[in-house]
């Protein structure tokens, strides 16, 4: 049966939008390909055609053109004419040598260890440990065993942090003579930024040895101001005036997070402060990067999620801590400060 020609078709427009959203995954595939093919590096000296790039890397020019034209729809590269493409401010962050490069972060976020479990989100609603079913071990077991693989999870998180860390150091003032412990601090990017911005402080980087072996704290050019301690934050952490937990909360379910916070509280003094640095979820329908990461984390680790400010405060209370301040940075992150309650 055909619709009358006079009937408006506006009621079908939401369906068109839904179709467009259904192919979102191909954009991430193109983004990963752009890094693998070093398209940003080939365009950083000026506009080029896909054919020119393809000749340099011995690739198919038609495919290069398709990748570039898709990414250009989201301002990653731009078409300057029918054939040539050029860099954009967003594309600059794909460069491996950019001071705040997201090169490794994008490779991590588009890696098979994140993509393959995402095909099984429906099964996750039944509580099935999808990651372990696919890879034969838990998410953290996998990356502890594969910490030395190129473009691994820890390198990706370090790359992630290069963009976020300046917003944190600009927002939170650390008093002189403070000892700052970065718990689960990876390769030390955040701690490096904090120590650099606060020259009369000292720091401790705390994480697993396989991770801290790749630390970057030597870039501070003052080895007297930092040290490394290895261990598990489920067992014991160093004593400090400030404890940094950046993007740690979302990796654990409530019970494990309470255990981590309790371990930290046991090493705190009455004046020590713990800083939970996370994305706080909103309750409305507005976009929130934490909602993406929350679903992503939950299909990697059962019970993992981004949380609202209120949810984090409840978990702090259960660990014997109380909120003393909340600071919103100029990026997605917020800093929730707490002391012994």
Is 107 inside any structural domain?
Answer: no
Residue 1 has pLDDT above 50, yes or no: no
Question: DSSP string spanning 101-142?
Answer: --HHHHHHHTSHHHHHHHTTHHHHTTT--HHHHHHSS-HHHH
- pLDDT band per the 50, 70, 90 thresholds, residue 57: very high
Pair (168, 277) in one structural domain: yes
Please give the share of the chain, as a percent, with pLDDT higher than 70.
98
Count: domains in the chain: 2
Predicted pLDDT of residue 327: 97
What's the pLDDT tens digit per position in 258-305?
A: 999 999 999 999 999 999 999 998 888 888 888 888 888 877 777 788
Pair (206, 85) in one structural domain: no
Yes or no: say if 217 and 229 are a contact pair by the CB < 8 Å rule.
Answer: no
Residues sharing a CB contact under 8 Å with residue 236, sequence separation 6 or more, in sequence order: 263, 266, 267
Buried b (16+ CB within 10 A) or exposed e, 10-33: eeeeeeeeeeeeeeeeeeeebbbb
* Domain end call among 94, 114, 137: 94
Residue 303 CB burial class (10 angstroms; 0-12, 13-18, ≥19): middle
Predicted pLDDT of residue 282: 84
Predicted pLDDT of residue 320: 98
What's the pLDDT tens digit per position in 163-204?
A: 999 999 999 999 999 999 999 999 999 999 999 999 999 999
Is 173 inside any structural domain?
Answer: yes
Domain harbouring 83, CATH code: 1.10.10.10
Pair (268, 173) in one structural domain: yes
Predicted pLDDT of residue 6: 61
What's the pLDDT tens digit per position in 5-45?
A: 566 888 899 999 999 999 999 999 999 999 999 999 999 99
* Domain end call among 74, 94, 114: 94
Q: Tell me the residue range of the domain where 194 lies.
A: 153-340
Domain harbouring 170, CATH code: 3.40.50.150
Is 274 inside any structural domain?
Answer: yes
* 110 backbone dihedrals φ, ψ, rounded to 5°: -110, 15
Predicted pLDDT of residue 2: 56
User: Could you give the 3-state DSSP secondary structure of residue 64?
Assistant: helix
Pair (167, 54) in one structural domain: no
Please give the share of the chain, as a percent, with pLDDT higher than 90.
73
């Amino acid at each position: 049966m055909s619709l009358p020609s006079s009937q408006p078709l506006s009621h079908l427009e939401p369906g068109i939008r839904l179709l467009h959203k259904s192919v979102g995954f191909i954009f991430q595939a193109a983004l990963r390909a752009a890094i693998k093919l070093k398209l940003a590096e080939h365009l950083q000296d000026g506009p080029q055609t896909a054919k020119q790039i393809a000749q340099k890397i011995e690739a198919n020019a038609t495919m290069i053109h398709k990748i570039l034209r898709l990414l250009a729809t989201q301002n990653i590269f731009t078409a300057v004419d029918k054939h040539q493409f050029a860099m954009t401010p967003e594309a600059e962050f794909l460069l491996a040598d950019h001071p705040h490069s997201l090169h490794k972060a994008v490779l991590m976020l588009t890696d098979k260890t994140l993509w393959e479990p995402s095909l099984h989100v429906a099964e996750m609603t039944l509580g099935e440990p999808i990651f372990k079913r696919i890879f034969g071990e838990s998410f953290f077991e996998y990356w502890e065993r594969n910490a030395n693989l190129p473009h691994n999870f820890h390198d990706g998180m370090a790359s992630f942090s290069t963009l976020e860390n300046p917003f944190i150091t600009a927002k939170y003032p650390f008093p002189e003579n403070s000892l700052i412990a970065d718990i689960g601090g990876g390769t030390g990017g955040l701690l490096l930024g904090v120590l650099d911005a606060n020259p009369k402080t000292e720091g401790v980087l705390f994480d697993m040895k396989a991770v801290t072996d790749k630390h970057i704290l030597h870039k501070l050019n003052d080895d007297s101001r930092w040290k490394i301690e290895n261990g598990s934050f489920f067992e014991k952490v160093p004593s400090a005036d400030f404890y940094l937990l950046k993007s740690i909360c979302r990796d654990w379910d409530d019970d494990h997070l309470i255990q981590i916070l309790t371990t930290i509280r046991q090493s705190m003094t009455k004046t020590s402060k713990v800083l939970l640095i996370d994305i706080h979820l909103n309750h409305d329908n507005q976009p929130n990067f934490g909602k993406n990461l929350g679903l992503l984390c939950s299909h990697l680790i059962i019970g993992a999620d981004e949380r609202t400010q209120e949810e984090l405060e409840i978990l702090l209370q259960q660990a014997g801590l109380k909120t003393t301040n909340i600071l919103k940075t100029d990026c997605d992150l917020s800093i929730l400060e707490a002391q012994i309650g």
